[in-house]
Amino acid sequence: MTRFIFITGGVVSSLGKGLASAALGALLQARGYAVRLRKLDPYLNVDPGTMSPYQHGEVYVTDDGAETDLDLGHYERFTGVSSRRSDNVTTGRIYSTVIARERHGDYLGATIQVIPHVTDAIKEFVTADLDGADFALIEIGGTVGDIEGLPFLEAIRQLGNELGPERSMFVHLTLLPYIPSAGELKTKPTQHSVKELLSVGIQPDLLLCRSERPIPDSERRKIALFCNVVQDAVIPALDVSTIYRVPISYHEGGLDVQVCKHFRLPHDSEPDLSRWTNIVGRVTQPEGEVTIAVVGKYIKLLDAYKSLAEALAHGGIANNVRVRLDWIDSEAFEGEDPVDILDNANAILVPGGFGERGTEGKIKAVRFARERRVPYFGICFGMQMAVIEAARHLAGLEGASSTEFGPAVDPVVGLMTEWASGSEIVRRGADSGMGGTMRLGAYECRLKEGSRAHGIYRSAAISERHRHRYEVNIRYRERLEAAGLVFSGLSPDEVLPEIVEIPDHPWFIGVQFHPELKSKPFDPHPLFTAFIRAAVEQSRLV
């Protein structure tokens, strides 16, 4: 029997609802329950795949090829449960489903309305494909009071009624701002936000209160009184030094016990939080520090590289070092000498990206890393830049480029129009739409015996997640390998290059996929562990 916990947010956005949901998932797991986390996003895009990273942050890709909200990344990193297409839905997708059904004649005779047709479609989504999880944690995007969120709130209100309190619970995340001149934490915004929820028929069962300082009991009592919850269900969610402390801090605040009490589940024993205490110990007592230069484009909004920053931190956890990230706008290299900018880095990483702007700077960063023998990790676009750099400066193909930037003399990176996905052939034309048309999701890759990649993965076949439109052109393989760039990972049909490396270099690897999407703090990705280890070794040389 699956129990549902609905998580809404109030007062302001950016309170970390995704992280809070993920941490609650981790806590319930630590009590031995199976969890599944999902997110309902109230915007009209069918998925976030077409949104700018500046607007929305990273697009998180699942194994089954869905482009989803970055909160799903938090869910996976905190619980280890692989997300699926069915774990993220938007208003846009719900409406397109309902409209397609209407056109198909599924509702013949009826007038299609938000209630019940749209709300039914939402409920269907929320309750489907749960694999018998003990708990489904359903996060509702946006802030209570937003017009867009209303159909979702109505749908979960109905579900709450249908399931009853023994199978459903409403958790509301709010903020208690601290007013320095009064020396007080203020509860009024929380009261108003709960009122807003009540106005759509939802009485929260538990309040998770974000606050930068401890919440006095008197204030918890006041919130309980005004918001109609028991005082023990007003849980402090205080700022913590590292996000990995959040599950521990929630437990100290009594969150898991309250949830168990609500569902009448046993709560006398302690949850096993050793996984989190270990990680916090390593993060707060590192034995050293390395600096990684991340040369990218979307550095003004670091959420655009959320999983990447996390995976690098995980590599630090594996090596007992703190990883300092130096975010560099690749356009900075276009005028200046990269030496001045990159000299302090123990390793260089070029992450995923789209479009021509800033690419010459990225290529300069690759060249610097290759010639100076500084560890280099190229991810997706970063691999493509490494291939262009090697083609131009090692193989003498001066006109080497990617067709993403227009016609090229030597298209070492080009648009693939056909590729194998399992036993199927996927086809795409230059005029295919933009949404959902990239090579998306998990694909198998075979590793070359004896290569560095093979040594790192310790396996001949791996599976990693993709999100890109262009591919390294296999026709240049011989010329590039002769020049020193080895193709150490290929698709099973040997058509798509997946990994390139330079054996005669301390650590130089480019991967076409996004390994950062699968890294977890308690299970750091082997490529990030090896990359940070190489950075540590480099730091000992200087």
Q: Which residues contact 161 (CB under 8 A, 6 or more apart)?
A: none
Stretch binding ligand GLN (CB under 6 A), from 115-123, 155-163, 174-182, 348-356 = 348-356
CA atoms within 13 A on the CB side of 226: 15
Q: Would the CA dihedral through 427, 432, 436, 440 be positive or negative?
A: positive
Query: What token pair was written down for 342?
Result: 């990159």
Task: Please tell me whether residue 465 binds ligand GLN under the rule CB under 6 A.
Answer: no
Nearer to ligand GLN, 467 or 518 (CB): 467
Task: Please tell me whether residue 353 binds ligand GLN under the rule CB under 6 A.
Answer: yes
Task: Please tell me whether residue 428 binds ligand GLN under the rule CB under 6 A.
Answer: no
Where are the strands (E) in 281-320, listed by range? 288-296
Active site residue 525: no
Q: Which of 352, 510, 524, 526 binds ligand GLN (CB under 6 A)?
A: 352
Task: Please tell me whether residue 468 binds ligand GLN under the rule CB under 6 A.
Answer: yes
Nearer to ligand GLN, 267 or 469 (CB): 469
Q: Please, what is the minimum distance in Å from the beta carbon of residue 464 to ligand GLN? A: 12
Q: Which residue is nearest to ligand GLN (CB)?
A: 352
- By C-alpha distance, which of 126, 137, 203, 147 is closest to 172? 203
Residues 478, 486: contact at Cβ < 8 Å?
no
Q: Please, what is the minimum distance in Å from the beta carbon of residue 389 to ligand GLN? A: 15
Task: Please tell me whether residue 297 binds ligand GLN under the rule CB under 6 A.
Answer: no
Q: Please, what is the minimum distance in Å from the beta carbon of residue 368 to ligand GLN? A: 20
Task: Please tell me whether residue 441 binds ligand GLN under the rule CB under 6 A.
Answer: no
Cis preceding linkage at 521, omega within 30: no
Nearer to ligand GLN, 6 or 476 (CB): 476
- By C-alpha distance, which of 105, 93, 194, 192 is closest to 151? 93
By rule CB under 6 A, what count of residues binds ligand GLN?
Answer: 10
Q: Please, what is the minimum distance in Å from the beta carbon of residue 362 to ligand GLN? A: 11
Q: Please, what is the minimum distance in Å from the beta carbon of residue 497 to ligand GLN? A: 12
Q: Please, what is the minimum distance in Å from the beta carbon of residue 207 to ligand GLN? A: 39
Tell me which H or E stretch contains 364: helix 359-372
DSSP letter for 420, please: E
The amino acid at 493: D
Active site residue 445: no
| Maximal CA-CA distance, the chain | 76
DSSP letter for 520, please: B
Q: Please, what is the minimum distance in Å from the beta carbon of residue 506 to ligand GLN? A: 24
Helix (H, G, I), strand (E, B) or coil at 44: coil
Task: Please tell me whether residue 498 binds ligand GLN under the rule CB under 6 A.
Answer: no
DSSP letter for 235, please: E
Q: Please, what is the minimum distance in Å from the beta carbon of residue 304 to ligand GLN? A: 11
Distance CA 396, CA 399 (A): 9
DSSP letter for 118, please: I
Q: Which of 75, 377, 470, 513 binds ligand GLN (CB under 6 A)?
A: 470
Cα–chain center distance at 30: 22
Q: Which residue out of 380, 389, 468, 505 is catalytically annotated?
A: 380
The amino acid at 206: L
Nearer to ligand GLN, 467 or 479 (CB): 467
Q: DSSP for 256-268, please give it.
A: HHHHHHHTT---S
Stretch binding ligand GLN (CB under 6 A), from 120-128, 349-357, 497-505, 520-528 = 349-357
Nearer to ligand GLN, 185 or 309 (CB): 309
Site string for ligand GLN, 251-290 (x = CB under 6 A): ----------------------------------------
Q: Please, what is the minimum distance in Å from the beta carbon of residue 432 to ligand GLN? A: 13
CA atoms within 13 A on the CB side of 104: 7
Task: Please tell me whether residue 139 binds ligand GLN under the rule CB under 6 A.
Answer: no
Distance CA 466, CA 498 (A): 10
Distance CA 168, CA 150 (A): 19
Helix (H, G, I), strand (E, B) or coil at 277: helix
Q: Please, what is the minimum distance in Å from the beta carbon of residue 277 to ligand GLN? A: 35
Rounded to 5°, the CA angle 228-230-231 comes to 115
Exposed e or buried b per residue across 47-86, where buried means at least 16 C-beta atoms within 10 angstroms of its C-beta: bbbeeebeebbbbbbbbebbbbbbbbbbbbbbbebebbbb
Nearer to ligand GLN, 421 or 539 (CB): 421
Task: Please tell me whether residue 404 binds ligand GLN under the rule CB under 6 A.
Answer: yes
Helix (H, G, I), strand (E, B) or coil at 139: strand
Task: Please tell me whether residue 354 binds ligand GLN under the rule CB under 6 A.
Answer: yes
Distance CA 480, CA 476 (A): 6
Q: Which residue out of 58, 389, 498, 516 is catalytically annotated?
A: 516
Nearer to ligand GLN, 236 or 414 (CB): 414
Task: Please tell me whether residue 4 binds ligand GLN under the rule CB under 6 A.
Answer: no
Nearer to ligand GLN, 140 or 440 (CB): 440
Q: What Cα–Cα distance (Å) separates residue 171 from each residue in 57, 202, 203, 330, 338?
A: 25, 10, 9, 42, 50
Query: What token pair was written down for 108?
Result: 């013949």
Q: Which residue out of 314, 454, 514, 525 is catalytically annotated?
A: 514
Q: Which of 195, 393, 469, 520 binds ligand GLN (CB under 6 A)?
A: 469
Task: Please tell me whether residue 467 binds ligand GLN under the rule CB under 6 A.
Answer: yes
Active site residue 449: no
Nearer to ligand GLN, 242 or 463 (CB): 463
Nearer to ligand GLN, 316 or 352 (CB): 352
Q: Please, what is the minimum distance in Å from the beta carbon of residue 434 to ligand GLN? A: 11
Task: Please tell me whether residue 381 binds ligand GLN under the rule CB under 6 A.
Answer: yes
Distance CA 181, CA 267 (A): 41
Residues 265, 516: contact at Cβ < 8 Å?
no
Q: Which of 11, 206, 380, 490 binds ligand GLN (CB under 6 A)?
A: 380
Chain contacts with ligand GLN (rule: CB under 6 A) = 352-354, 380-381, 404, 467-470
The catalytic residue positions are: 380, 514, 516
